[in-house]
Amino acid sequence: MSSINYSEKIPNNVNLAEDRTLQRALEGWQPNFINWWDDVGPEGSTNYDVYLRTAVSVDPQGWAQFGHVKMRDYRWGIFLNPGDAERKIHFGDHMGEKAWQDVPGEHRANLRRIIVTQGDTEPASVEQQRHLGLTAPSMYDLRNLFQINVEEGRHLWAMVYLLHKHFGRDGREEAEALLERQSGDENNPRILGAFNEKTPDWLSFFMFTYFTDRDGKFQLSALAESAFDPLARTTKFMLTEEAHHMFVGESGVSRVIQRTCQVMNELKTDDPKKVREAGAIDLETIQRYLNFHYSVTIDLFGADQSSNAATFYSSGLKGRYEEGKRTDDHVLKNQTYKVLEVKDGQLLEKEVPMLNALNEVLRDDFIKDSVAGVGRWNKVIEKAGIPFRLTVPHKAFNRAIGALAGIRMSPDGRVVSESEWDAKKKDWLPTDEDRAFVASLMGRVVEPGKFANWIAPPVMGINRQPVDFEYVRFA
């Protein structure tokens, strides 16, 4: 078992004590991190004892220890998956060469940019979710929110470690800047669009953790293939934490749907108005939230054609999702890939060099993965005997990045006129009224075992604890 040293101020499994300069630099950054947590982390939670899992080793099995802790005392630290001294680069122009333990000079700027962009999303989501604790639908859900928040904080640590260890002075400056940008801030926003959106209610939160944390899964998976070994090992460990975040999203939306279907069957109605009057969220509104979060999230993969994506791949910085399981040549020089464009009001496919289309390749892998969960949500509706089905919108719907940016497209994939868009938008994307309605349901329910009216209880508790376990102790 590869264990983590908790006797140090900064828990780690990278022998931090042997590198005094680095240790001092990180100990200098630590108080700023805590200040950031106090300023924009989960609101009003300082004195809560939360039943959290903490990483105690980096073994895939049994790395987690559960217990009540104050979030401020959570053992944020630096944990890398074990290294393999023989590891070889397995894609791109350097295929077959030894993986890098340090940053090669010629890739320094690109690697720093990749790490900073990933790092920036981690504190951003904590900021976006800052107020949600005040409206938790149950103590169980409150605990899950806090678990995600502390782990996103740890993911920030993971990226900051790489910046401090491998990028010298500019790395330290970037690490500071990660605490200075703020989600939604007009003057100094987070780097990526979806991370400047609000997460104002729990339906948004569940959609966010289902879709946007899944973007995290795919980005981290691509980085886990990197020729820069410390980045590969760091992101591999982050992925083990990410799985729980997506579980919270998938099961959260599923429980909302379950409750809605129950109300529909009790009232024998499919009228959204009546569903709302009964205090549940109508399936139409859930569909609009889904459309929004899905389209905003697939923008995160970047432009469909990108010379940066080609460079990142060929130089070994970022692979594809499950690169090792693919059976092509892992160089991709003569291959092509289909991307979409709109010409004369028509949606067309065109073949482009695959290396330039790697953002699109990753986006399509993400789409496959996220559609599967939507199918599981539909099973809940089907089981309730209700004919409604949720769908993911067309890939070109509501896009703001790449060739499809600004194209007016219906969720079912028709190019539409500006006037049709204006007329139908309210059926396709959450309206202010939808959001106000969902917000009106958000009252705080935190007695053990009690749940808000708009969401069903989970099937099981966390870590085999009962559903009515005291997951959070309020001081």
Stretch that binds Fe ion, among 56-64, 181-189, 205-213, 460-468 (CB under 5 A): 205-213
Min dist. Cβ of residue 122 to Fe ion (A): 5
Using CB under 5 A as the binding rule, whether residue 164 contacts Fe ion is answered as: no
Binders in 88-127 for Fe ion, by CB under 5 A: 122
Closest to Fe ion by CB, 314 vs 370, is: 370
Stretch that binds Fe ion, among 148-156, 192-200, 268-276, 465-473 (CB under 5 A): 148-156
Min dist. Cβ of residue 21 to Fe ion (A): 27
Any residues with CB less than 8 A from the CB of 344 and at least 6 apart, and which?
Answer: none
Using CB under 5 A as the binding rule, whether residue 197 contacts Fe ion is answered as: no
Q: What angle do CA 54, 55, 58 make, to 5 degrees?
A: 170
Min dist. Cβ of residue 225 to Fe ion (A): 18
Min dist. Cβ of residue 238 to Fe ion (A): 6
Closest to Fe ion by CB, 214 vs 276, is: 214
Closest to Fe ion by CB, 151 vs 364, is: 151
Stretch that binds Fe ion, among 166-174, 240-248, 320-328, 352-360 (CB under 5 A): 240-248
Stretch that binds Fe ion, among 39-47, 180-188, 215-223, 371-379 (CB under 5 A): 215-223
Min dist. Cβ of residue 237 to Fe ion (A): 11
Stretch that binds Fe ion, among 52-60, 234-242, 437-445, 467-475 (CB under 5 A): 234-242
Closest to Fe ion by CB, 216 vs 402, is: 216
Q: Terminus-to-terminus CA distance in the chain, angstroms?
A: 36
Closest to Fe ion by CB, 154 vs 259, is: 154
Cβ distance 288 to 430 under 8 Å? yes
Structure tokens at 208: 């966010």
Any residues with CB less than 8 A from the CB of 168 and at least 6 apart, and which?
Answer: none
Min dist. Cβ of residue 212 to Fe ion (A): 8
Cβ distance 88 to 108 under 8 Å? no
CB count in 10 Å sphere of residue 86: 7
Min dist. Cβ of residue 155 to Fe ion (A): 4
* C-alpha dist (Å) from residue 219 to 195, 199, 214, 232, 393: 15, 21, 9, 11, 22
Rounded CA-CA distance 102/108 in Å is 10
Rounded CA-CA distance 9/322 in Å is 35
Any residues with CB less than 8 A from the CB of 257 and at least 6 apart, and which?
Answer: 283, 286, 377, 380, 381, 390
Using CB under 5 A as the binding rule, whether residue 395 contacts Fe ion is answered as: no
Residues present in the chain in total: 475
CA max distance for the chain: 68
Using CB under 5 A as the binding rule, whether residue 213 contacts Fe ion is answered as: yes
Closest to Fe ion by CB, 129 vs 315, is: 129
Using CB under 5 A as the binding rule, whether residue 245 contacts Fe ion is answered as: yes
Min dist. Cβ of residue 228 to Fe ion (A): 19
Continuous segment of H or E residues that includes residue 187 = none
Closest to Fe ion by CB, 126 vs 441, is: 126
Stretch that binds Fe ion, among 63-71, 81-89, 238-246, 342-350 (CB under 5 A): 238-246
Residue type, 455: I
Min dist. Cβ of residue 453 to Fe ion (A): 28
Can you give the C-alpha Rg of the chain in angstroms? 23
Residue in the block written with tokens 């892998």:
365
Closest to Fe ion by CB, 143 vs 245, is: 245
Using CB under 5 A as the binding rule, whether residue 155 contacts Fe ion is answered as: yes
Closest to Fe ion by CB, 119 vs 319, is: 119
B/e letters for 172-189, b = 16+ CB within 10 Å, e = fewer, are: bebbeebbebbbeeeeeb
Cβ distance 360 to 304 under 8 Å? yes
Size of the site for Fe ion (CB under 5 A): 7
Min dist. Cβ of residue 120 to Fe ion (A): 11
Pairing of strands 472-473, 49-55: antiparallel
> Applying CB under 5 A, which residues contact Fe ion?
122, 152, 155, 213, 216, 242, 245
